[in-house]
Structure 1
Amino acid sequence: MKIGIITAMSSEQKQVSQLLSDKKEYTEGIFQYTEGNIKNNTVILMKCGIGKVNAAAGAVEMIRTFQPDCIISTGVAGGIDNCLKVMDVVASKHIVYHDVWCGDGNVYGQVQGLPAVFDGNATLFGCAMSLDTPTAIHGGLICSGDKFITDRSELNDIKENFPEGLAVDMESGAIAQVCYLYKIPFISFRIISDTPGADNHWEQYTNFWETMADRSFGITQAFLSSIPDNL
């Protein structure tokens, strides 16, 4: 099976690239890709850039260029629920926009004419939730928007609109929307790097990359190794 993996930042791409064997790198269009193997699956890894537009452009190019059997958005996210700690993982059972409002007749977060939430692929979600690992893995709702959340009032607004929300990021919603349109199985698998609204929020984030990233991305390797040869 061919798996497309999309990260937002170079730091995330580097961590995932280290998990691949038999790697080769090349450029197609405006994006650079790393092709490699995990178990019996071929992996196409790319960095799309931060935010919804970059994520959507990257997902479209990934699909048009490589025709992957599924796409995974991976990297880090901010935890927005008390059940989460730094280095925990959230797998997307559902994905929603926390910054979209299309007016009366639409649910908050819904792009008019599209589902109110996008579902993660059931097989990929099952693989994530069945991992036997010391790392806590939570399945639930990931909320996406074009804002790095640091302010407690902004966090409270998101939780009020989406009480079941577990994590926030800036790419999963856009990739989920593209995959919905192109009928590509999708899941977001995100490591918690910080808890927005905490007094030491920025210190959590920087400390994650300085001291925890190398250990935490092992769970990503376990997840990718658990994916079957076909969906």
Structure 2
Amino acid sequence: MIVTALAEEQDAVLAVLGDVPSGTAVVDGLRVAVESLHGMGNPGAAGSGGTVLARWGARRLLLVGIAGGIGAAGVGFGDVLVPDQIVGYESGKVRDDGVLRRPEVYRPDFTLLTAARAVRPADWAPARPVHVGTVLSGEKVIASREVLDELRAGWPRAVGVEMESLGTALAAYRAGGGFLMVKGVSDLADAGKDDRWRGHAADAAARFTLALLRRLAAAAGDLEVPGSVRLLVCQRLVGDWQRLAIYFDIPAYERAAFARGPGPDGVWDWLVARQRLRELPDALDFIGRADLTAELRDAR
């Protein structure tokens, strides 16, 4: 499910998807619905996002559009932002000495984020960098370097600011679904804000999203395993997933991220996003877990 806040963002998505009858398209066999959130802002996104998820019975929600980039983080016009965390920074307590912020933080869907990381430059637009990091989500359009610097003091890994991802993430969370944001940089959230890059930024986000969908569609054609078998295999891999990650040459920084959550599930989703789940039985044999190989082969 793809949602956008503005008409120009939706137009860019529809342009790259091609023929979209009745709001749906098929990308390499993957059915995708496209709808508008009917306006900017997190409160509206939370309500509209939940409605469209229920209407389509979708499992995952992609928010696509434009955002402000943070130049000090190396972000430029037309680049693409993908969050590894969404921070809602508006909530807080106003005191005599200033505002004590009480942020709301959401993590994106791991499978979607892993697939986004796996998109290669040649898949969509070689000249455009993709920045993965913290995205700050609030209720106001920011066009002030001073405000931006104050926000970055609290979240130094921030790469961008926008106004709908917190609400959309909340809608997906309430519905038990996954969420990811993909937005192109139309301005640098300072006094030089103008409209010259909006169309280009919307197009960049839409094209990257199409490449992401193709990654997901290709992964869907990989080894098919029932959920019950996945749960069984991952439960029994708790002590061995690190060796499995080394077998697949998973980078150390990604292994570190897996260690903060269910490690075996992290490895599984990493393989799915790269269409390599079919290699898992041989890998399990190699690390001495033929018992799990048998579980996978019996399920096919």
TM-score range, shorter chain: 0.7 to 0.9
Please report how far the alpha carbon of residue 122 of structure 1 lies from its aligned counterpart in structure 2 after TM superposition.
1.3
What does residue 144 of structure 2 align with?
A: 151
Q: CA deviation at 1:215?
A: 5.7
Q: 1:128 and 2:121 equivalent?
A: no
Of 52-61 and 16-25, deviating more is: 16-25
The number of aligned residues is: 209
Report the secondary structure of 2:150's partner residue.
helix
For 1:40 and 1:97, how far apart are their aligned partners in 2?
35
Alignment check: 8 A CA contact 1:129 1:138 kept: no
CA contact (8 A) 1:19 1:38 kept: no
Question: Which residue of structure 2 lines up, in the alignment, with residue 29 of structure 1?
Answer: none
Match for 2:31 among 18, 42, 46?
A: 42
Partner residue in 1 for 2:79: 88
Check whether the contact 2:183–2:202 (CA below 8 A) recurs between aligned residues: no
Contact 1:149–1:196, Cα closer than 8 Å, also in 2: yes
Mapped pair 1:5 → 2:2? yes
Name the residue aligned to 1:192.
185
- Structure-2 residue corresponding to 1:222: 211
Question: What SS does the aligned partner of 1:140 have?
Answer: strand
> Does residue 164 of the first structure (1) align with residue 157 of the second (2)?
yes
**C-alpha separation between the residues in 2 aligned to 1:178 and 1:211?**
28
Amino acid at match of 1:84: V
Equivalent position of 1:15 in the other structure: 12
Identity of aligned residues (%): 24
Contact 1:7 1:47 (8 Å CA) reproduced: yes
**Structure number with higher relative contact order (C-alpha < 8 Å, ≥ 6 residues apart):** 1
Distance 1:102 1:45 in 2: 38
**Which structure's residues are more often strand, by fraction?**
1
Structure 1 window deviating more from structure 2 (119-128 vs 15-24): it is 15-24
Structure 2 residue aligned with 1:77, among 67, 71, 89?
67
Q: Match of 2:166?
A: 173
Which residue of 190, 193, 200 maps to 1:201? 193
Q: Which runs of 4+ in 1 moved over 6 A?
A: none
In structure 1, the partner of 2:240 is none
Deviation at 1:102, TM superposition (A): 6.2
Amino acid in structure 2 at the alignment position of 1:64: A
Cα distance in 1, alignment partners of residues 140 and 165 from structure 2: 13
CA distance in 1, matches of 2:202, 2:91: 31
**Please, which runs of 5 or more residues in structure 2 have no aligned partner?**
95-99, 222-268, 270-300
TM-score, normalization by structure 1: 0.82
d(CA) in 2 for partners of 1:166 and 1:148? 16
Shift of 1:11: 0.1
Q: Deviations over 1:150-172 (max 9, x none)?
A: 01222122112222211111000
1:98 corresponds to 2:89 = yes
Query: Take 1:214 and 1:64, find their aligned partners in 2: how far apart are those partners?
Result: 28
Q: In the alignment, what sits opposite 1:30? A: none
Show CA shifts across 1:65-118 (max 9, x none): 111021011111101242101111111111010211268xxx9343xxxxx411
Q: In 2, distance between residues paired with 1:222 and 1:195?
A: 25
Amino acid at match of 1:207: R
